[in-house]
Amino acid sequence: MAFRKDLLLISSWIKNDSKVLDLGCGSGELLKILKQNKNIKGYGVDNDIQNIKSSLKNNVNVLQMDLDKGLNSFESNSFDYVVLAQSLQVVKKPKDLINEMLRVGKEIIVSFPNMGHWSSRIQLLFKGMMPITTNLPYRWDNTPNIHLCTIKDFLKFCRDNNFEITEQCITNKKQKSSLLTKIIPNLFGEIATFRIR
């Protein structure tokens, strides 16, 4: 089975036998990979009933909850990792959620689609319209994405809020790191993934 490459990257950052909370878990793919390869104990959180069904079919623990209401069901420091994979842009208060993640997890992993990628910039510059890309396929008036940002925005956001980034990986369209994504990540990176403490 072919897994999403961004999830394989996140998986590589997670130690064997750890306890993982995956926020916005979708169909539970990440937890499935982690269960198979890393023997983790994990729970997914999602608020879409279709994702709850898919996760159950994937035999992962899944909790139907609204991330915008915080993580009250979880005790402080009760997880080794709290992951938010490509869901940062859909939450109402990203700062509050990241603070909650830091409360619950010893370490957190956040990934998001980079709005600063050249294809987005070109669409806005030449078409004068909101960009529609592979990772951001929605029209402006019908999108769950309410808090899109660029890598530069996110770095400033972390500095302003004292979120300490310990590792980062910026990947291109092929979901690989390249020379270009290393030199000018905010222009050539499609997906940005950060480890934060």
Partner 1 sequence: MNNKSIEKITTNIAKIRTPLRLVSGKTLPQYDLKYETYGELNENKDNAVLICHALSGNHHAAGKYQGDDKVGWWDNMIGPEKPIDTNKQFVVCLNNLGGCHGTTGPTSINPETNKVYGSDFPIITVNDWVNSQKELMDYLDIPYWQFIVGGSLGGMQAFEWTLQFPLLVKNCIVIAAAPKLTAQNIAFNEIARQAIMKDPNWHDGNYLSKGVFPNHGLALARMLGHITYLSDASMKEKFGRDLKKSKLNFNYEVEFQIESYLRYQGEKFVTGFDANTYMLMTKTLDYYDPIKDLSKSIKDRLGDSKSKYLIISFTSDWRFPPIRSKEIVKILLDNENNVSYSEITADGGHDAFLMENKDYFDVMRSFIKEVDDGF
Residue choice 34, 74, 97, 191 for contact with partner 1 (CB under 8 A): 74
The Cα 189–Cα 183 span in angstroms is: 10
Is residue 43 within the footprint of partner 1 (CB under 8 A)? yes
Query: 54 or 135: whose CB is closer to partner 1?
Result: 54
Do 42 and 21 touch, CB atoms closer than 8 A?
A: yes
3-state secondary structure of 91: coil
| Dist CA 81 CA 196 (whole Å) | 10
The correct pick among 63, 130, 158, 165 for binding partner 1 (CB under 8 A) is: 63
CA atoms of 120 and 133, how far apart (whole Å): 7
Which residue, 42 or 94, is less far from partner 1 as judged by CB? 42
Instruction: Say whether residue 187 binds partner 1 (CB under 8 A).
Output: no
Which range of residues in 50-58, 86-94, 159-167, 174-182 is near partner 1 by CB under 8 A?
50-58
Say if CB 18 and CB 80 are below 8 A apart.
Answer: yes
Of 55 and 89, which has the nearer Cβ to partner 1? 55
Residue 30 dihedral angles phi and psi, to the nearest 5°: -60, -45
Give the DSSP H/E element, type plus range, for residue 138: none
Residues 93-122 within binding reach of partner 1 (CB under 8 A)? none
Based on the shown chain and the rule CB under 8 A, indicate whether residue 18 belongs to the binding site for partner 1: no
Tell me if 41 contacts partner 1 by CB under 8 A: yes
Three-state SS string over 140-197 comes to CCCCCCCCCECHHHHHHHHHHCCCCEEEEEEECCCCCCCHHHHHCHHHHCCEEEEEEC
Q: Which is nearer to partner 1, 65 or 158 (CB)?
A: 65
167 binds partner 1, rule: CB under 8 A: no
Among 3, 4, 13, 61, binds partner 1 (CB under 8 A): 61
Pairing of strands 79-85, 61-64: unpaired
Residue 55 found at the interface with partner 1 (CB under 8 A): yes
Q: Which residues bind partner 1 (CB under 8 A)?
A: 19, 41, 43, 49, 52-59, 61-65, 73-75, 78
